[in-house]
Amino acid sequence: MLDLAADYTTDPATLLALTQEIDFFVIQSITAATNLYIGLYKERLQENTHFIQKVAETVPGAVYVFDLERFSGIYSNKKLGEIIGYSQAELNELGENTIELLVHPDDKSKVTRESLANDLMKDDTRVVTYRIRKKDGSYKWLANYESIFKRKEDGSIWQIIGITLDVDKEQKAMGELHIREQLLLEAQEIAQLGNYYWDFTGKNSYGSAKTMELLEITSPDLENFMKNVHEDDRKKVEEATEQAQKDGVFNCEYRIKGSAGIKYIWARGIVEFLEGKPFCMKGTVMDVTEHNLLIRRLEEADKRHKQAEALAHIGTYSWNFVKGELEWSDEMYRIYGIDVTESISYNSVTKAVHADDKVMLERIINESIATGRPFDFYYHITARNGETKILHSRGKLAYDSSGKPEKLVGTDQDVTEKQTLIHTLRQTESLYKQAEEIASMGNWNWDVASNKLEWTDQLYRIYGLEPQTEEITIERFLSFVHPEDREYVTQGVDELKSKDSIDYTFRIITNDGTEKWLRSIAQVLRNERGEVATVIGTEQDVTEKQKLIGKLEESQRLYKQAQELAKMGNFSWNMQTGEVFWSDEVYKIYERPYGEDVRFEDAFDPITEQHKPHVQRAIEETIQTKQGRSISYAIRKKDGGVKYINLHTDVGLNKDSSISCIIGSLLLTMSIPANTPSSAKDWRNSWVIAPKK
């Protein structure tokens, strides 16, 4: 500008004044411009400060600047109180150690000076989550996002800036998610279930740890997936995979060769498509080995159950009378003679029920539904083949979830054979009781352990008691035994310990004083240790028989005496068996030991040589004519003497008129000792044979 002053004036004073005026003008201009700039800067700074303040007030967290050296805050937007539920006055009372005082004990190590400095030395920023105590005593999660704000000249951290956010919901949600993940893992472990992701391009496949464990593979790609598949199932898996890539659904059960043996795997998945092409498949694999074994066991159990039903002729049923649905087991169909493919209803039952039992069946069923009581009854049906059967029905009422009667469930057993046997048994028992009464015979059973005797009605009567009026013990039984026979009977009872059976006859005296003879036959039943457990037996009143035996024995005694006095005996000779019988006196006449087995030769050989031909001819004629003879002959005594005998015979004939036996009697007429004079020996040297008159 001074360059132009020469054109204006050359006067120094004027130039000096002009220069001063120009300097003043310039200074004023600079001052005005500076003031304007400063004003504008202040205005902009105020706007920025206002903006920053608004931002700080608007953000959801507590913004702060923290002096690490003094370990205290130098700035805060005052939102910490809102986040943790304290007023600013309450925070002021807690002082600069607010955070340290309120932080959960397990999280204090995260907010120390050392941890803050160490974390920021590694990285310019850090994020730390911790729990802080609220006024109500509970804790909430906070997250601090912190960064270095200022450093000292030596580069150490001086101040940090950060924001504290309320992450309580997020942390709790993450906790719940973690718990759920743990539960899912536990559920997968329990269910032997794993999940997978197959990338058909082979770039990014994934398998959970359980999937890898179940399939016993090290990589989750498709190639490894097929690695352990059983060779017999490989084609099935490949076909299922190909089909899934067409329709989007994979569902296949197959076997793999595991380290511990064969495993059954059930794999399912959903295929995702990209631009119409299969891109990936997500799914699960489950170890169903135990499930399959249980199914097989269940099938075997069901098979055995059906076999048991068939063997026992028991069928099961369920009749939902609300819906009118009737379900039968296979055996029920067989019992009724109906094909298992045929649809059945309650009418199928009533149609087969015998007319005489229909009213009873309807009454019992209706009563059970009305009262809730179980039922147990017998009824007759006519099967499809026309066979009449007796069924034993048992069942009970079942209720729905609301407690209302809904169905009847039970069993029907074909007891035709059993009931027929029972009917026959009852008839037999009736006839047996009649037979017992007619034969005057009763049966008993002795339980040795309890010392109790069970008597049939007839045995009570034999002992003079009313049937089943008192309990019988072995002592009570012995009280009836005749005093003279009691020791004998007691010994017989004791012998049962060492014998398997006994048969003895003894006397009893009934309550009315009557003396009776009883024959008892007992059989011992032993337990697995060989000890006597039960004794069963039969007793018969043989009083009349014993009396007859006594009379017969007396008659036989008198007969023997008569034979002995008359020196006469009798004999029989069985022509078919050759068996010979001699009475006692015949043994004496022939001088043979009593009871010794004898033959025809034993009677023929002692005959004197003079008489043998004539006796032989008499025997032949008796056999030929089938007529008895009377002859006389002599036999040689053991001392050399001679006995003279008169023999009278007769014959017994079979139905075909053949001779069955020769019977007769012989009479000793004379016995001549040895050394007797010849004239006496020849007193009878002739014999006579004549037909029986």
pLDDT for res 688: 43
Q: CA 618, 619, 620, 622: dihedral to nearest 10 degrees? A: 80
pLDDT recorded at residue 437: 58
Domain topology for 426-548: Beta-Lactamase (3.30.450)
Task: Tell me what pLDDT residue 255 has.
Answer: 92
Domain ranges of the chain: 1-58, 59-174, 192-287, 300-414, 426-548, 567-691
Q: For tokens 């296949």, what's the residue? A: 252
For residue 680, what pLDDT is reported?
Answer: 46
d(CA 612, CA 593): 24
pLDDT at site 692: 42
b/e per residue 321-352 (b: at least 16 CB within 10 A): eeeeebebbebbbbbbebeeeeebeeebbeeb
Structural tokens at position 459: 């045995």
What CATH homologous superfamily does 192-287 map to?
PAS domain (3.30.450.20)
Q: What is the pLDDT of residue 371?
A: 92
| 300-414: CATH number | 3.30.450.20
The string of DSSP codes covering 660-674 is EEEEEEEEEEEEE-T
What is residue 415's predicted lDDT score, i.e. its pLDDT? 85
Q: What DSSP string runs through 136-174? A: TS-EEEEEEEEEEEEE-TTS-EEEEEEEEEE-HHHHHHH
Least Cα distance to 244 among 216, 272, 205 occurs for: 272
CA distance linking residue 393 with residue 408, whole number of Å: 12
Tokens at residue 43, please?
């205005």
**How many CA within 13 A on the CB side of residue 382?**
8
Give the residue among 690, 528, 577, 529 at the shortest CA–CA distance from 625: 690
Residues in the chain: 693
* The CATH homologous superfamily of the domain defined by 567-691: PAS domain (3.30.450.20)
Q: What is the DSSP letter of 596?
A: -
Do 215 and 256 form a contact (C-beta atoms < 8 A)? yes
| Cβ 331 vs Cβ 431: under 8 Å | no
Could you tell me the fold of the domain covering 59-174?
A: Beta-Lactamase (3.30.450)
Rounded CA separation 514/463 (Å):
9
Contact in structure between 602 and 592 (CB atoms under 8 Å): yes
Measured in Å, how far apart are the chain's first and last C-alpha atoms? Answer: 210
Residue 584, token pair as written in the block = 């006692």
If the chain, 693 residues long, is cut into consecutive pieces of 10 residues, what is the mean pLDDT of each piece?
A: 58 69 69 65 56 56 78 74 75 70 86 78 82 86 85 82 84 80 70 83 81 84 80 92 92 90 91 89 88 78 68 83 89 88 86 90 91 92 90 91 90 81 60 57 86 87 88 89 90 82 89 88 86 87 78 70 75 88 87 88 89 90 87 88 89 84 87 66 44 42
